[in-house]
Structure formats: structure tokens, C-alpha cells
Structure 1
Amino acid sequence: MTFVTKLTFQSGNRYELEDHVSEIQDIVERKGAECKGPHAEPPENVRVPQYRNLAPGDEFSPWDYTVYSRKLEIHGNDHIAREIGHMAFPDSIHIEIEVEQKKPLGHRRE
């Protein structure tokens, strides 16, 4: 059985995000693992209301920012995926790691 590690990176700083994702892609490819991506998703514009106090109605102008996302998949090489999962990233980058177990075609469930 092989494992697919899916990495999702999100940040408000597109350039920092691109640097870290391309660095990870280089590490994975140098170590000989199969890497799919990075796949870019459309940027998400987020608007957060800001209030002067706890009473409703008294507001500052909303805080607008953009979130950029990239996705990578690492196929097979669990050691590299584990190594990347333990890397230190800046606080400005949010990372989600999902591990999926793939069974070979024709595999019967018992």
C-alpha cells in the first residue's frame, strides 16, 4: 500500500508562500519522491468587520485581506513527507497535512 500526503499551504503573503512551496518541491524532487503540484487555487478575499466597542453599530471600516493557497501531493515516500511535516515555517503560513492510504487496484477488502 502506498500513502499520498496532501499538503495545503495558505498565506496572505503570496511571495513568501511561493518561496516556501517551491523550496519544498525542490526538496521532494531532489530526494527522488513523486511530487504533484503545486496547484494554485483562486485567491480568496476576506472581509472582517471591526467594532469600536462591544455595542453593535459603532464600527471601523472593515479589514480586507487576500488569502493565497497552494496544494502539493507527495506520493509514496513516507520518510520525506514526515520530514516536511516537521519543518519549521513562518507564522504567516498556515499548513494542513492530510495522509491518505491508497490500495492497489484489484485489492479486496477483508
Structure 2
Amino acid sequence: MLIRIVKMGFYKQNIEVFLEDFNAHKQDIRNFEGCQFLELYRDVNDPTVFFTYSYWENEDALENYRKSDLFSQVWGKTKPLFSKPPKAWSVEKLLSLE
């Protein structure tokens, strides 16, 4: 399993646009082949900063999503809303405590 974390900063006036678009596409992203989990977080100290946190079967599944029409559509609407370049990490879970 591959975990993808993406940090995004938005201009204040673009936050509602981003949230509306994310809500419109969240089920499509979550149901994309290979996606096993999807969450959206907001920074508690900076309300213009958001993180997506998703689980993918493997790197190929994530890459298939990144090459898809769905990604092009979502990213095409999201990218112009940024106040700074996004940052992304692909990580693997080593330990989980319940």
C-alpha cells in the first residue's frame, strides 16, 4: 500500500471554490480503481492550508489516477486556486497503534 499526502495552500477567496469542487469529486476519487481511502484535513493554525490523505493499492494505481481524465479535470480546477506550490509525499505505513 502507498499513502499519498498532498499539502495545498489557497488564497482565502478560493477556499469555498476548492471545497465545493472537492465535495463534488470526492466520491469519484475515492471510487477510482486502486484508491482505498481518502480524507481531507485543514490546518488548525492556518485555515488556508489543506491536506489530502489517501491510500492507494500501489504506485501504479496512483500513477493511473494521475494520468486519468478525472485527475486532469480536478487538478485543472484546483491548481489556479493555489497561493503557493503544492507539496506531495508518497509514504508507506510502518506502524499503526490503535
TM-score for the superposition, normalised by structure 2: 0.57
Amino acid at match of 1:99: W
SS at 1:14 equivalent: helix
Deviation at 1:9, TM superposition (A): 2.5
Moved over 3 A (4+): none
> How many residue pairs end up in the alignment?
82
What is the CA–CA distance in structure 1 between the aligned matches of 2:72 and 2:2, rounded to whole Å?
14
Deviation at 1:68, TM superposition (A): 1.5
Segments of structure 1 that go 5 or more residues without pairing to the other structure are 45-66, 106-110
Cα 1:23–1:35, aligned 2, differ >3 Å: closer, same or farther? farther
Structure-1 residue corresponding to 2:44: 42
Query: Is the contact made by 1:21 and 1:70 (CA closer than 8 Å) also made in structure 2?
Result: no
The answer to whether the aligner puts 1:9 opposite 2:8 as a matched pair is: yes
What is the CA–CA distance in structure 2 between the aligned matches of 1:85 and 1:96, rounded to whole Å?
16
Give the superposed CA RMSD.
Answer: 3.1
Structure having the higher strand fraction is 1
Structure having the higher helix fraction is 2
| Cα shift readout 1:67-102 (whole Å, capped 9, x = no counterpart) | 512211221131224543783135223562423242
Structure-2 residue corresponding to 1:22: 23
TM-score for the superposition, normalised by structure 1: 0.52
Deviation at 1:15, TM superposition (A): 0.7
Cα 1:101–1:70, aligned 2, differ >3 Å: closer, same or farther? closer
